[in-house]
Amino acid sequence: MSEGPLLLDAFPRQWEAAHERNVPGRVPTVVYYPGARRDGGHDGTWLRIVPAAGDPWTGVFSSDNLPGRLNVVASWPDPHVVFVAAGGSPYLVDARDPDRWWRLERPGTRRFEAVGALALLLDEDVLAAYDAQGLAWESDALGPAEWLGVLDDEVHLRSGDTLHRVALRHGRTTREAASW
């Protein structure tokens, strides 16, 4: 049985989160996503969210749980935002106000990396960088690429026998033949 998504401290945050089954007692506010509904919704990932200031609440995030897709709860460049990926398009929710939420239209997200002040999301075709204000940049189309790592000020990815170097500052993508 899966323990649910991994909890990842990627950035400083102003909230706490735990899998609901691991927290004693109940809270009066249960919010179902997508929609931020209070009258029920689809089952999914149950998280107890406790903002630094304010009342705790439980978020139920509809989950696709598709193999190879991202399954993680993480801090975000905005310290009040909770990032929740449960196998489909990731959610961003303001921990202080569960009615302030967004869905990132990246259903194929496979990887989350924190690099400096950027949250990097790799999906089936593109590397996207987000900062505290939102989308900072997107790479050129990469095709199905494998994450190799960060070297100096670039992200290195491999797709077949092509090396993609994506500049962290602006997302400009350089391609070259992989030498290995």
How does pLDDT run across 103-149, given as a tens digit for each residue?
999 888 999 999 999 999 999 899 999 999 999 999 999 989 999 99
pLDDT of residue 180: 67
Residues forming CATH 2.40.128.630 domain(s) in the chain: 108-180
pLDDT of residue 165: 96
30 to 4, 41, 62, 80, 99: CA distances (angstroms) = 18, 10, 13, 19, 11
> What is the C-alpha R_g of the chain?
17
Per DSSP, 21 falls in state: G
Start-to-end Cα distance in the chain: 39
Global pTM? 0.90
In the predicted model, residues of the chain with pLDDT beneath 70 are 1-5, 180
Q: Side-chain half-sphere of 66: how many Cα atoms within 13 Å?
A: 11
Per-residue b or e along 66-105, where b marks 16 or more CB atoms closer than 10 Å to that residue's CB? eeebbbbbbbbbbebbbbbbbbbbbbbbbbbebeebebbe
d(CA 110, CA 19): 21
24 to 21, 48, 59, 105: CA distances (angstroms) = 8, 10, 15, 34
pLDDT of residue 69: 81
- What is 108-180's CATH number, 2.40.128.630, 3.30.70.3270, 3.40.50.300, 3.40.50.2000? 2.40.128.630
pLDDT of residue 4: 61
d(CA 58, CA 93): 12
pLDDT of residue 24: 86
